[in-house]
């Protein structure tokens, strides 16, 4: 069930109404049933997979409080859960590459034709469940006694299939609280949801028309190729950030506070700051559960560089079982290592050149956006040859810009640019003063209502009812 569908337009109000009408003791049951119904709209059988992961991690949490062999229990839980993730997401990739290597030496394949349908959101809910078991192992919180509340923690529908990847220390206590109908919270949540829908349906899905048209060409090149590269960077941001905004807003309507997942990432002047602001819940997950356990930056420069490479390679694989994602993660890892190794000489060079701090920040921000956009060619490509064709097209300027062939006329292009400009202004305001939503809601009603009506009108005219609009799934559903 997509957020940007009529099904969800009926589902969410019904679930919210039932949640506030029911007595407190039944609310968790209601939300759990709604969450599983939400997930089963994709493939009912895979709900059993989520239930199995939930049962294993819940039992592991209880067992770690009742035995001296805590590390063994944690290891079993990790093997079972990451094993599920491996089978459904990586087994085919590993076997295909193993068979390709065996073929070079004239050997028979180990196993051919292995393929399974990837369950929606499996990387998100398994990482959330694994994070819980590690938190219990580290004694950051006691094991959850109630299977009902723990199952709801794993499956809570707003953030189930594309995050944010919630922490047990934040979410589990909230599930036990009694949430009352709060007009201000509901209004705040609905405003954030509206912003998410505008990002998704007015910007991301419109940019997708041009991006997809260019990528479908045999030999993309010239201005169209460069537009597709930069527009995909913006499409991906708006697509993913919009899901997070809708999820966070929907949860806030019901009284829950989810963690922030984006913080104006394309205004970051360094790649490190970009990752501190992009998909924050995953970046923090890797920091707390992989980078720091590996030693972080505590064991010398060489070990720090190795740890950075490992984290980015794993991050690339988390996004997908393909060499394109491996190389995408490797590119960010190598860049981060080079930035760490050259930090001191670059600082001396800036001082010698006497660059004003403001100018340096602007130039650095442009460069980071340029680098991220180029590496996203690997992220978007279906294969390494497809990525190679796009990179080659960026070096070729013999292809004229044909709007009709791209499926996007000039008025659509102008609308897209105007929406991007509005997004840029909002990101600037957010970077300088925190959530724009809170400052907007502090304004008088005579200011709020015209803006809200304008947003709804833009959603109707340029979004779902716009010419050529096709309901698009969120990009991160595939992960």
| Catalytic residue status for 279 | no
State the catalytic residue, choosing from 279, 319, 332, 360: 319
CA atoms within 13 A on the CB side of 292: 7
Give me the active site residues, please. 319
């Amino acid at each position: 069930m997509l957020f940007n569908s009529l099904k969800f337009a009926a589902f969410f109000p019904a679930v919210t109404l039932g949640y506030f009408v029911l007595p407190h003791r039944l609310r968790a049951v209601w939300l759990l049933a709604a969450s599983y119904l939400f997930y089963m709209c994709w493939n009912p059988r895979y709900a059993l997979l989520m239930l199995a992961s939930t049962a294993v991690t819940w039992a592991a949490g209880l067992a770690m409080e009742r035995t001296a062999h805590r590390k063994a229990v944690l290891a079993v839980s990790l093997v079972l859960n990451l094993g599920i993730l491996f089978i459904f997401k990586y087994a085919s990739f590993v076997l295909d590459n193993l068979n390709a290597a065996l073929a070079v030496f004239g050997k028979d394949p180990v196993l051919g034709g292995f393929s399974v349908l990837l369950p929606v959101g499996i990387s998100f809910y398994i990482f959330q469940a694994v994070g819980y078991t590690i938190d219990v192992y580290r004694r950051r919180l006691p094991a959850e006694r109630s299977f009902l509340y723990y199952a709801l923690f794993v499956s809570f529908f707003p953030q189930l299939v594309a995050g944010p990847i919630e922490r047990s220390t934040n979410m589990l206590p909230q599930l036990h609280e009694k949430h009352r109908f709060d007009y201000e919270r509901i209004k705040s949540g609905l405003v954030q949801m509206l912003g998410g829908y505008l990002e998704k349906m007015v910007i991301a899905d419109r940019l997708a028309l041009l991006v997809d048209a260019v990528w479908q060409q045999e030999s993309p090149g010239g201005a169209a190729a460069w537009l597709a590269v930069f527009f995909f960077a913006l499409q991906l941001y708006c697509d993913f950030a919009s899901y997070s905004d809708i999820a966070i807003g929907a949860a806030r309507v019901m009284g829950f506070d989810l963690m922030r997942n984006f913080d104006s990432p394309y205004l970051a002047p360094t790649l490190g700051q970009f990752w501190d602001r992009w998909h924050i819940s995953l970046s923090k997950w890797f920091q707390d559960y992989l980078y720091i356990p590996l030693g972080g930056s505590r064991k010398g420069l060489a070990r720090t560089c190795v740890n950075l490479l490992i984290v980015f390679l794993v991050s690339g694989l988390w996004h997908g079982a393909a060499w394109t994602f491996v190389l995408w993660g490797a590119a960010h890892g190598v860049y981060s290592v080079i930035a760490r190794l050259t930090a001191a000489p670059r600082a001396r060079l800036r001082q010698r050149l006497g660059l004003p701090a403001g100018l340096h920040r602007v130039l650095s921000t442009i460069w980071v956006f340029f680098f991220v956009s180029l590496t996203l060619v690997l992220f978007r490509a279906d294969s390494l040859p497809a990525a190679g064709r796009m990179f080659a097209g960026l070096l070729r300027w013999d292809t004229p810009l044909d709007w009709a062939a791209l499926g996007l006329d000039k008025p659509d292009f102008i609308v897209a640019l105007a929406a991007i400009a509005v997004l840029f202004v909002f990101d600037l305001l957010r970077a300088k003063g925190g959530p724009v939503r809170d400052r907007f809601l502090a304004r008088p009603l005579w200011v709020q209502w015209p803006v809200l009506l304008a947003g709804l009108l833009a959603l109707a005219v340029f979004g779902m009812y716009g010419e050529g609009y096709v309901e698009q799934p969120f990009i991160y559903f595939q992960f």
